[in-house]
């Protein structure tokens, strides 16, 4: 993917997945690349259409949840590009969990019942529902792994005031409820997800992507109860299958480990899984974006002129 130079551009940052251009210190142009990361490492080969899948799911979900809280997005001039308001981000990820899965399950299985200051009940199995969704925040690390943190620590260290924390929790739980409702219509269960927020002045704004397979885990609702009763693995929609492939090939992002070779066949398999994710989550046929870099630049530039 090309690196662009837009009029009035004041900063550029290439993240794990997206390239972020700051315009006039007030707007962000986020271009979703086809890069894929796992265990905080960018894998060596891009995945066709992955960026488009993430960008279009995020656009759909932000629009569907816009009545709950203000969000950063203004427009998406192409299937891989989002333009929105620049905010000062909270250095917190609001992780909401409806089920005992992933990191929460690993903590529980180790014998611990306290996660980010939240007491988890006894007698649960992997993937069981919590009585009500829980929030298990983490710090947003600039480098390395994010770290679990409790609400008390967030407030005492000044990452958010008590009032801000209450607003963040309120927004996160409402967003999760809406996400579960949207998932249910598609025969899915929204298992867990993360939200990021920022501020413009005193206004708290929802940032980034929401309810995408990179930030969320979905289970298929059909057969969920039967699989739980039998102790079987749940069928899920997320990029967990990529992590599982890496683990099987002895890679978990630890020092000295090598990323396994990615064959063309495996790359196409991942791409196909992502487009399937799109169609299942959104309920629409995926139409590949074939725009060239010049057309992307032209459309973004046109939108920036209109927003000036």
- Concatenating the DSSP letter of every residue in the chain gives -PPP--TTEEEEEE-SSEEEEEETTTEEEEEE-S--EETTEE-SS--TTHHHHHHHHHHHHHHHTTTTS-BSEEEEEETTEEEEE--EE-SEEEEEEEES-THHHHHHHTT--EETTEEPPSS--TTPEEEEEEE--EE--SSS--EE--HHHHHHTTSS-HHHHHHHHHHHHHHHHHHHHHHHHTTEEEEEEEEEEEEETTEEEEES--S-TTTEEEEESTTHHHHHHHTPPPPEESTHHHHHHHHHTT-SS-TT--PPP--HHHHHHHHHHHHHHHHHHH-S--------HHHHHHHHHHHHHHH-
Give the C-alpha separation, 308 to 303, whole Å. Answer: 9
β-bridge partners, 203: 200
Establish if 279 belongs to a structural domain. Answer: no
Give the C-alpha separation, 227 to 206, whole Å. Answer: 35
Overall domain count for the chain: 1
> To the nearest whole number, what is the mean pLDDT of the chain?
94
Residue 244 backbone phi and psi in degrees, to 5: -60, -40
CATH number of the domain at 204, please. Answer: 3.30.470.20
Q: Which domain holds residue 227?
A: 89-237
Residue 295's Cβ-side half-sphere holds a number of Cα atoms within 13 Å equal to: 7
Q: What is the pLDDT of residue 142?
A: 61
Condensed to tens digits (0 to 9), the pLDDT of residues 1-52 reads 678 999 999 999 998 899 999 999 999 999 999 999 988 889 999 999 999 9
Pair type for strands 81-85 and 88-89: unpaired
**The three-state (H, E, C) secondary structure of 223-288, written as one string:** CHHHHHHHCCCCCEECCHHHHHHHHHCCCCCCCCCCCCCCCHHHHHHHHHHHHHHHHHHHCCCCCC
pTM higher than 0.75? yes
Establish if 152 belongs to a structural domain. Answer: yes
Condensed to tens digits (0 to 9), the pLDDT of residues 126-143 reads 999 999 999 999 997 665
β-bridge partners, 129: 99
Question: For 151-160, 174-183, 273-282, which range has the lowest pLDDT when averaged over its residues?
Answer: 273-282
Asked if residues 200 and 70 have their Cβ atoms less than 8 Å apart, the reply is no
Closest C-alpha among 230, 227, 192 to residue 102: 192
Establish if 209 belongs to a structural domain. Answer: yes
Establish if 139 belongs to a structural domain. Answer: yes
Closest C-alpha among 93, 82, 57 to residue 213: 57
Establish if 144 belongs to a structural domain. Answer: yes
Establish if 160 belongs to a structural domain. Answer: yes
Q: Is the pLDDT of residue 64 over 70?
A: yes
Establish if 134 belongs to a structural domain. Answer: yes
Question: For 72-86, 94-108, 157-171, 227-241, which range has the lowest pLDDT when averaged over its residues?
Answer: 227-241
Question: For 114-123, 251-260, 291-300, which range has the lowest pLDDT when averaged over its residues?
Answer: 251-260
Residue 111 backbone phi and psi in degrees, to 5: 105, -10
Closest C-alpha among 48, 55, 60 to residue 78: 55
Q: What is the mean pLDDT of residues 275-285?
A: 93
Establish if 262 belongs to a structural domain. Answer: no
Closest C-alpha among 75, 74, 80 to residue 4: 80
């Amino acid at each position: 993917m090309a690196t662009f130079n837009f009029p009035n551009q004041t900063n550029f940052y290439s993240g794990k997945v997206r390239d972020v251009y700051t315009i006039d210190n007030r707007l962000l142009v986020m271009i979703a690349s086809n890069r894929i990361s796992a265990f905080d490492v960018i894998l060596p080969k891009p995945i066709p259409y992955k960026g488009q899948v993430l960008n279009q799911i995020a656009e759909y979900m932000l629009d569907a949840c816009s009545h709950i809280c203000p969000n950063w997005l203004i427009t998406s001039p192409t299937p891989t590009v989002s333009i929105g308001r620049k905010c000062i981000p909270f250095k917190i990820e609001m992780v909401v969990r409806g089920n005992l899965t992933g990191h929460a399950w690993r903590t529980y299985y180790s014998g611990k019942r306290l996660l980010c200051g939240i007491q988890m009940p006894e007698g649960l199995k992997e993937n069981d529902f919590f009585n009500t969704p829980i929030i298990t925040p983490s710090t947003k690390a600039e480098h390395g792994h994010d770290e679990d943190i409790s609400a008390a620590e967030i407030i005492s260290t000044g990452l958010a005031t008590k009032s801000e924390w209450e607003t963040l929790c309120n927004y996160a739980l409402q967003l999760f409820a809406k996400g579960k409702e949207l998932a249910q219509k598609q025969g899915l269960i929204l298992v867990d997800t993360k939200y990021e927020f920022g501020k413009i002045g005193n206004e708290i704004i929802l940032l980034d992507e929401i309810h995408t397979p990179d930030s969320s885990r979905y289970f298929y609702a059909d057969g969920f109860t039967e699989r739980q009763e039998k102790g079987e693995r749940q069928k899920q929609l997320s990029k967990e299958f990529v992590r599982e492939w890496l683990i099987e090939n002895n890679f978990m992002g630890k020092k000295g480990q090598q990323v396994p070779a990615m064959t063309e066949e495996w790359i196409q398999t991942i791409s196909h899984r992502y487009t399937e994710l799109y169609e299942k989550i959104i309920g629409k046929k995926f139409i590949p974006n074939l725009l060239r870099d010049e057309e992307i630049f032209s459309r973004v530039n046109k939108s920036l002129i209109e927003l000036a």
